[in-house]
Amino acid sequence: MKDITLKEIAFQLGISITTVSKALKDYPDVSPQTRNAVKKLAQELHYTPNSFAVNLRTKESKTIGLIVPELVHHFFSNVVNAIINEAEKNGYLVIILQSNESLALEKKQVELLINKRVDGIIMSLSNDSNNDDHIKGICARNIPFVMFDKISKLSTCSKVVINDQKAAFNAVQHLIDMGCKKIAHIRGPANPQNSVDRFIGFKKALEKNNIVFDPSLVYTCENVSFEEGKHFAEQIINDHKDIDGIFAITDLVAVGVLAYLNEKEIKIPAQIAVIGFSNWFMSQVLSPKLSTVDQPSREMGIESFNLLLEEMNCHKEGKIFKPRTIELKTSVIIRDSTMKIVI
Amino acid sequence: MKDITLKEIAFQLGISITTVSKALKDYPDVSPQTRNAVKKLAQELHYTPNSFAVNLRTKESKTIGLIVPELVHHFFSNVVNAIINEAEKNGYLVIILQSNESLALEKKQVELLINKRVDGIIMSLSNDSNNDDHIKGICARNIPFVMFDKISKLSTCSKVVINDQKAAFNAVQHLIDMGCKKIAHIRGPANPQNSVDRFIGFKKALEKNNIVFDPSLVYTCENVSFEEGKHFAEQIINDHKDIDGIFAITDLVAVGVLAYLNEKEIKIPAQIAVIGFSNWFMSQVLSPKLSTVDQPSREMGIESFNLLLEEMNCHKEGKIFKPRTIELKTSVIIRDSTMKIVI
């Protein structure tokens, strides 16, 4: 495609480049006739301002980068959805990358975005992320930066999170309130802060209720998948005949648990109560409907973008921005999978 | 952030800008000592090439634009996933926009991407799209362009599609093979080509089997949602007591149908068989497991990007590219929701 330039328009109309530029920007010192002629020709020739040149002048790309572990995940696609919509409302475009839960890829993608000169970066860490040199790199370059959900506690940037410990505590407390006495936990991998925090919440709820913590009741996912839910449900039943409650790290895993228990015709919740985490849309469609912790994904996306926007604006005006952490509220959603009749 | 320039590095080392530029590009006429000194300082100062300037020189942004109706949809998030991964492998970043099924927004987003000077655009139309002026605008500017799934048949660009008519025909033929005699169709809105084609496939299957087409058995979705699935299932039962099969435009709607029938304790498939479309991951987790048409979302993403890449490469080399249409295979996945015992 040959780029149509201001020069081309000026040449065709026999006027100066400055006049063309002023006409397109509606400057009052250009006559309405000239303005209309310029605009008409610009439209006919499909003239668009060269954004690379505009970027070079303004030092802004009006583009932000977003790195998520994976897009095909109810929670993340909801957050991404909210970020894209919020960004567009504010005149920003979003480049999206997926780390596929790999630290190496995540590091490479941070470099890509920095080289692309995005105006800011929003990120949720991969499960693999056990060091934060690349995050320090973003901060060292003074690039506006927000982490959400899966964060690194050590870094000094802005964060949008939930209180995973408290949320998990409430989920397990609910199982205990429903009469569960022997509760297994299918936890996430070792690195992500939120899987550690949910595990701590689980332990604290047991402690509070004078239930002795038994490490053999904790099962650790690698991929946090539906298949792992099924697999660990089978293992739990084999290892502990008298289990009466299961708390799964996320709804996808809990759905796997339900699928296995249904297959084996184990009554939910009469025999085993099950609770998940994240309030996936599907959790209310299943049979039985899944109890879970509601994680406000849309709000998380909106708050993340708005924090970034604030920092980008400060940055543009040369003001100092003080990073903030926003903690969003969660709630336990009680459905059929835990509604035991307590006598 | 103050941008570190080649000039700054040259100044600090007391050498010329040309030498710094050559050293960073590993030109052989720069001594190893100088090269190492330049690279060391560039790293210390967090030097990154100014991508705006690079873009202005190469006229490439190494960025493509992707517009989808909505991201929070199993099918689209899978396609987007595949496009992002394929693009990254080939050195491209992806800006993602959602039309939220609005033609006005879609038009605005096409303009945004053109102004952004993306190297190419991939798009799936919104349900609202009943004219293609904006698509003609992309083609008029000779911007590499691929449409997938929800396409406009009239436009001359490359396309990646399935044969929706044939796929729907096969789904309905399967219901008939399972003994269904009175089949309702919950169809999509009037505009999208694929909802029209699935409806035609439905009609053709009836015709082929000498079943008279009854327009009162067709129900039209507005939002293609779970709630509409529930709502229309109720209406179908009320309107037609002897209904024995339902073909839904997509799995999400079919899941709504299952939810309603389960609630009312109507036996699936003994009383009513149900088949969906798209093979959403969740369709195999439900009770009963949902029969459906497998729509190859990952393949669709990969083929779309590769077609675009081919066109972008032709474009770069000044060669003529002839648009192509790729039709991907689908298959009927038979699960519990249609497994009637035919006597």
* Integer CA distances (angstroms), B24 to A114, B10, B265, in order: 18, 12, 72
Picking from B172, B85, B132, B119, the residue whose alpha carbon sits closest to that of residue B313 is B119
Cα B268 to its chain centre, rounded Å, is 31
Report if residue B55 sits inside a domain: no
* A172 vs A274: CA distance, rounded Å: 10
* B84 vs A131: CA distance, rounded Å: 25
What's A246's DSSP letter? E
Read off the pLDDT of each residue in A1-14 and give the average, rounded to a whole number.
78
- Token duo for residue B229: 């699935």
- Asked if A85's CB is within 8 angstroms of B52's CB, the reply is no
Q: What percent of chain A has pLDDT over 70?
A: 95
User: Residue A80 pLDDT > 90, yes or no?
Assistant: yes
Angstroms from A104 CA to nearest CA on chain B: 14
- Asked if B88's CB is within 8 angstroms of A117's CB, the reply is no
B:135-194 residues touching chain A, CB 8 A cutoff? 137, 140-143
Residue A210, pLDDT score:
97
Angstroms from B237 CA to nearest CA on chain A: 20
pLDDT band at B70 (very low <50, low <70, confident <90, very high): confident
Read off the pLDDT of each residue in A218-243 and give the average, rounded to a whole number.
95
Mean predicted lDDT score pLDDT of chain B = 90
Query: Does residue B152 sit in the same domain as residue B179?
Result: no
- Asked if B77's CB is within 8 angstroms of A77's CB, the reply is yes
Report if residue A343 sits inside a domain: no
Residue A1, pLDDT score:
45
* Angle value at C-alpha B29, between B27 and B32, nearest 5 degrees: 80
Interface test with B, best of A56, A76, A77 (most B CBs within 10 A): A77
Residue B47, pLDDT score:
78
Using CB atoms, which residue from B48, B71, B93 is nearest to A80?
B71
Query: Does residue A80 sit in the same domain as residue A196?
Result: no
pLDDT digits (tens, 9 = 90+) for B263-300: 899 999 999 999 999 998 888 878 889 999 999 999 99
Report if residue A1 sits inside a domain: no
* Domain harbouring B17, CATH code: 1.10.260.40
Between these two residues, A120 and B23, which has the higher pLDDT value?
Answer: A120
Question: Which residues on neighbouring strands pair with residue B218, listed in sequence order?
Answer: B185
Q: What percent of chain B has pLDDT over 90?
A: 59
Report if residue B98 sits inside a domain: yes
pLDDT digits (tens, 9 = 90+) for A81-125: 999 999 999 999 999 999 988 888 898 889 888 888 899 999 999
pLDDT digits (tens, 9 = 90+) for A113-169: 888 889 999 999 988 777 778 888 888 888 999 999 998 888 889 999 999 999 999
* A99 vs A92: CA distance, rounded Å: 22
Residues of B in contact with A259 (CB under 8 A): 285
pLDDT band at B1 (very low <50, low <70, confident <90, very high): very low
Query: Does residue B190 sit in the same domain as residue B134?
Result: no
Query: Does residue A175 sit in the same domain as residue A208?
Result: yes
| Greatest Cα pair distance in chain A | 92
Picking from B223, B281, B98, B298, the residue whose alpha carbon sits closest to that of residue A73 is B281
The residues near B163 (Cβ < 8 Å, ≥ 6 apart) are B197, B327, B330
CB distance from B321 to chain A under 8 Å? no
Query: For chain A, how are helix, strand and coil distributed in percent, rounded to 5?
Result: 45, 15, 40
* B184 vs A193: CA distance, rounded Å: 49
* A134 vs A109: CA distance, rounded Å: 10
Query: Does residue B216 sit in the same domain as residue B136?
Result: no
Report if residue A186 sits inside a domain: yes
Query: Does residue B303 sit in the same domain as residue B224?
Result: no
Complex ipTM over 0.90: no
Residue A96, pLDDT score:
92
What distance, in Å, lies between the first and last C-alpha atoms of chain A? 76
Cβ atoms of B143 and B63 within 8 Å: the answer is no
- Asked if B56's CB is within 8 angstroms of A259's CB, the reply is no
Residue B148, pLDDT score:
96
Query: Does residue A26 sit in the same domain as residue A87?
Result: no
Residues of B in contact with A282 (CB under 8 A): 282, 285
Neighbour tally for A80: CB within 10 Å: 27
Residue A55, pLDDT score:
65
pLDDT digits (tens, 9 = 90+) for B311-335: 999 999 999 999 999 999 999 999 9
pLDDT band at A2 (very low <50, low <70, confident <90, very high): low
pLDDT band at A54 (very low <50, low <70, confident <90, very high): low
Query: Does residue B176 sit in the same domain as residue B285?
Result: yes
Query: Does residue A256 sit in the same domain as residue A202?
Result: yes
Closest chain A residue by Cα to residue B112:
A93
- Token duo for residue A190: 């070792």
Angstroms from A49 CA to nearest CA on chain B: 7
The string of DSSP letters for B128-168 reads T----HHHHHHHHTT--EEEESS--TTS-SEEEEE-HHHHH
Angstroms from A73 CA to nearest CA on chain B: 8
Helix (H) or strand (E) holding B326: strand B325-328
Picking from B252, B301, B327, the residue whose alpha carbon sits closest to that of residue B82 is B301
* B247 vs B172: CA distance, rounded Å: 7
pLDDT digits (tens, 9 = 90+) for B201-260: 999 999 999 999 999 999 999 989 899 999 999 999 999 999 999 999 999 999 999 999
- Asked if A71's CB is within 8 angstroms of B81's CB, the reply is yes
Report if residue B213 sits inside a domain: yes
* Integer CA distances (angstroms), B270 to B24, B186, B209, B217, in order: 72, 20, 21, 20
Provide the domain limits for residue A85. 59-162+297-329
Highest mean pLDDT (candidates A37-41, A53-57, B244-248): B244-248
Angstroms from A34 CA to nearest CA on chain B: 24
- Token duo for residue B230: 């529930």
Residue A282, pLDDT score:
82
Query: Does residue B72 sit in the same domain as residue B33?
Result: no
* B186 vs B237: CA distance, rounded Å: 13
Highest mean pLDDT (candidates B29-38, B103-112, B317-326): B317-326
CB distance from A88 to chain B under 8 Å? yes
pLDDT digits (tens, 9 = 90+) for A290-343: 999 999 999 999 999 999 999 999 999 999 999 999 999 999 999 999 997 655
Query: Does residue B129 sit in the same domain as residue B175?
Result: no
User: Residue B57 pLDDT > 80, yes or no?
Assistant: no
Read off the pLDDT of each residue in B123-144 and give the average, rounded to a whole number.
85
* Angle value at C-alpha A96, between A107 and A220, nearest 5 degrees: 60
Cα B205 to its chain centre, rounded Å, is 27
When mean pLDDT is compared across A182-196, B121-135, B324-338, the lowest value belongs to B121-135
Angstroms from B278 CA to nearest CA on chain A: 15
* Angle value at C-alpha B81, between B79 and B82, nearest 5 degrees: 65
Between these two residues, A27 and A229, which has the higher pLDDT value?
Answer: A229
Report if residue B233 sits inside a domain: yes
- Token duo for residue A197: 């925090």
Angstroms from B316 CA to nearest CA on chain A: 9
pLDDT band at B306 (very low <50, low <70, confident <90, very high): very high
Residue A42, pLDDT score:
85
CB distance from B250 to chain A under 8 Å? no
Hunting for tokens 């985490």 — which residue is that?
Answer: A277
Split into its structural domains, chain B has a count of 3
Closest chain A residue by Cα to residue B61:
A52
Number of residues written out for chain A: 343
Residues of A in contact with B53 (CB under 8 A): 52, 56
Pairing of β A93-98 and β A63-68: parallel
* A269 vs B289: CA distance, rounded Å: 21
Rg (CA), chain B: 26
Residue B311, pLDDT score:
97
Residue A114, pLDDT score:
87
Cβ atoms of A95 and B63 within 8 Å: the answer is yes
Report if residue B265 sits inside a domain: yes
* Domain harbouring B228, CATH code: 3.40.50.2300
Query: Does residue B121 sit in the same domain as residue B108?
Result: yes
- Asked if B142's CB is within 8 angstroms of A51's CB, the reply is no
Using CB atoms, which residue from B78, B98, B141 is nearest to A85?
B98
